[in-house]
Chain A
Amino acid sequence: MNQELGTTGTGGARRRPLLALPNTGYKVLLAAAAALFAALVLWFLVAMVSKSRPAFSSLGVSFVWGRTWDPNTNQYGLLPFILGTLETTVIAMLLAVPIGLGCALSLGYLVHRRVKTVLSTAVELLAAVPSVVYGLWGLIVIAPYMRTDIEPFLSSVFGWTGLFNGPDGGVGILLAGVILFIMVLPTMVAISRDVLVAVPHDQVEGAMALGATRGQVFRKVVLPGARTGLFGAFSLATGRALGETVAVALVIGNSNYIAHSIKSGGGTLASLIVNNFGEASGTELAVLFAAGLVLLVIVAAVNIIARRLVRRTARSGATSVAVA
């Protein structure tokens, strides 16, 4: 069951109230609950902004793209961490999109009906594993393997790109990206599968009846037909990757410098916050609040776009064309 989406309102049509409540006390109680929730969120946003303000008033805005993070010299540049966030997310999505789509197509159209539920559940259970466990596993199990086998191999094959300079550290941006890929894969697969299967069967049959092979049906009818929803799945997965904290902090080989290769250590906005929050005070603390605010805004924006895209597909999926 996809907890991400739930249902929307009934699109404007006036629905008869579920419990034609005469008891206003009851109604007030429900409304109060909703209002309290809204108030909490409002408090959250206001607090984030106000706690970040000292950073902007004492450092200006430029610290957001400042290149150096060195509290000792009062430099709080966030650029290394913004780049780190982007780099790890890009690596994760470069892997998650093809593998997620292939997996979703298989689950939606290729696997036998009887194993479909088991396999789908298995992929979705990947999302249930706590992120800190991924961090532990990534650091203890995968990092050594990265250092001794995978990174040397990739360096030899792709070294010419200039992305693989430097020593094989095991931990670093690359490992963080790979762990993130594993963590966002279930989101990508579950939502993609739903939108791919929502492509009206009419069209699939229409293509087959013209003499298309199954591969052609996938490439020319199913994938294009679901493209809005697929972009939504992509966005939701990206939002997840951007905001992930502990798994990344454990495997990224924490460094406060701009990473010069994807094998080197780095940091993300989230790992910066979690590593420094405990001991920070004054300007540094305010900057951390600001970093949290930046992260919040980016992830919220990505999520909003994503939900709009997925909803549009879900709504229009039932009727692909108007019939006179």
Chain B
Amino acid sequence: MTEPSVAPDTVETDLGVNTGEVFVERDRRQPVMRLTNVGVAFAGKTAVRGVTFDVHENEVTALIGPSGSGKTTLLRALNRMHDTVRTAVVSGSVLLGDTDIYTGGIDPTLLRSRVGMVFQRPNPFPTMSIYENVTAGLRFNGVRNKALLEEAAESALIAAALWDSVKDRMKAHASTLSGGEQQRLCIARALAVEPEVLLMDEPTSALDPIATKRIEELVGELKSRVTIVIVTHNMQQAMRVSDRCAFLLMAEDKAGELIEFDATAKLFSDPADPRTLDYVNGRFG
């Protein structure tokens, strides 16, 4: 359990590059993402509603709660993954910096290069080599410069603690890696695009305990580079890795609601809401 870290004021030059509406120089003391009254409904049925909290820079924010409470649905609203679902309607506002990601005129594909995602089951592209996998996101976004690709790939693989294992076999296929390594490959792939936020949807639930532990360590190391929002159904994991927690619970009408949002230490030791207390004491799963 760590104290919420705050970006030091004396950080050096922020190389904000102004390319019009896409990248705006940000005040570092502002939260990276602000959710206000966010809701998601599918074909009229609400899956999650009224979620409001801030995601602070260089922290790990965890979404916790029993299954069905809408954690993953909420996470996917943060990088507009619901765009592909015809019956999905997202309400409320999600601000990335100063811009609403839904109404602010941001191109969704550009958004997703700024807000990356790692999925529950490792999903490397089977027809691509390790190198091609890591650089896939960059190439999707139009990067062709070989030097840049190699530099970004190496940096990302080092950050994902995979560089030493794969540097001599970058041409090998992803299926030659173990499950834990594949997940780290997916993390490297997401990191290579240098997103500002990394969304992680239960990234360790398909992995064995040792691989899980390595990824949890990784999350701690990565937060100085990207802001992380992680969904986890494992309370202990939330306690280990996160700085702040958002606790969601399914209401009677099967819609998920935000019950409490606070620093992890406080939420687990002295929560404000009795339902939170029940959950962290394991009284329901």
Give yes or no for direct A-B contact (beta carbon below 8 Å).
yes
Tell yes or no: B249 within 8 A of A by CB.
Answer: no
> Chain A residues near B189 (CB, 8 Å)?
210
> Chain A residues near B119 (CB, 8 Å)?
202, 205-206, 209
Tell yes or no: B24 within 8 A of A by CB.
Answer: no
Query: Which A285-324 residues sit within 8 Å CB-CB of chain B?
Result: 320-324
Tell yes or no: A144 within 8 A of B by CB.
Answer: no
Tell yes or no: B256 within 8 A of A by CB.
Answer: no
Expressed in whole angstroms, the Cα–Cα distance for A207 and B181 within the complex equals: 19
The 8 Å CB contact of A208, one of B84, B186, B206, is: B84
Given contacts A202-B119, A210-B137, A321-B122, contact A224 B179 (CB under 8 A): no
Tell yes or no: B124 within 8 A of A by CB.
Answer: yes
> Chain B residues near A225 (CB, 8 Å)?
125-127
Check B81–A209 contact: CB distance below 8 A.
Answer: yes
Tell yes or no: A200 within 8 A of B by CB.
Answer: yes
B114: nearest residue on chain A (CB-CB)?
Answer: A211
Tell yes or no: B226 within 8 A of A by CB.
Answer: no
Tell yes or no: B42 within 8 A of A by CB.
Answer: no
Tell yes or no: A203 within 8 A of B by CB.
Answer: yes
- Interface stretch (choices A72-80, A213-221, A248-256, A264-272): A213-221
Check B81–A323 contact: CB distance below 8 A.
Answer: no
Tell yes or no: A32 within 8 A of B by CB.
Answer: no
Of listed A202, A203, A209, A227, residue having the most chain B CB within 10 A: A209
Check B127–A202 contact: CB distance below 8 A.
Answer: no
Check A227–B127 contact: CB distance below 8 A.
Answer: yes
A224: nearest residue on chain B (CB-CB)?
Answer: B127
Check B125–A323 contact: CB distance below 8 A.
Answer: no
> Chain A residues near B127 (CB, 8 Å)?
224-225, 227
Tell yes or no: A31 within 8 A of B by CB.
Answer: no
Tell yes or no: B109 within 8 A of A by CB.
Answer: yes
Tell yes or no: B117 within 8 A of A by CB.
Answer: yes
Tell yes or no: A212 within 8 A of B by CB.
Answer: yes
Minimum CB–CB distance for B157 against chain A, Å: 16
Tell yes or no: B182 within 8 A of A by CB.
Answer: yes
Check B116–A210 contact: CB distance below 8 A.
Answer: yes
Check A202–B112 contact: CB distance below 8 A.
Answer: no
Given contacts A211-B140, A322-B179, A323-B206, contact A202 B109 (CB under 8 A): no
> Chain A residues near B193 (CB, 8 Å)?
210-211
> Chain B residues near A227 (CB, 8 Å)?
127
A320: nearest residue on chain B (CB-CB)?
Answer: B126
> Chain A residues near B277 (CB, 8 Å)?
none
> Chain B residues near A210 (CB, 8 Å)?
112-113, 116, 136-137, 140-141, 189-190, 193
Check A206–B211 contact: CB distance below 8 A.
Answer: no
Check B79–A323 contact: CB distance below 8 A.
Answer: no
Expressed in whole angstroms, the Cα–Cα distance for A210 and B117 within the complex equals: 7
Minimum CB–CB distance for A60 against chain B, Å: 48
Q: Mark B180-195, 1 if CB is under 8 A from A, else 0.
A: 1110001001100100
Tell yes or no: B208 within 8 A of A by CB.
Answer: yes
Minimum CB–CB distance for B150 against chain A, Å: 18
Minimum CB–CB distance for A209 against chain B, Å: 4
Check A211–B179 contact: CB distance below 8 A.
Answer: no
Expressed in whole angstroms, the Cα–Cα distance for A323 and B112 within the complex equals: 26
> Chain A residues near B79 (CB, 8 Å)?
209
Given contacts A202-B119, A210-B116, A225-B127, contact A321 B109 (CB under 8 A): no
Expressed in whole angstroms, the Cα–Cα distance for A99 and B140 within the complex equals: 25
Check B182–A220 contact: CB distance below 8 A.
Answer: no
Given contacts A210-B190, A210-B193, contact A205 B109 (CB under 8 A): no
Given contacts A209-B79, A210-B189, A211-B109, contact A321 B140 (CB under 8 A): no
A201: nearest residue on chain B (CB-CB)?
Answer: B123
Tell yes or no: B158 within 8 A of A by CB.
Answer: no
Of listed B137, B180, B207, residue having the most chain A CB within 10 A: B137
**Chain A residues packing against B (C-beta within 8 Å):** 112-113, 200, 202-203, 205-213, 216, 220-221, 224-225, 227, 320-324
9 contacts between A and B (CB under 8 A): A202-B121, A203-B125, A207-B140, A208-B84, A211-B109, A220-B136, A225-B125, A321-B182, A322-B175
**Chain B residues packing against A (C-beta within 8 Å):** 79, 81, 84, 86, 109-113, 116-117, 119, 121-127, 136-137, 140-141, 174-175, 178-182, 186, 189-190, 193, 206-208, 211
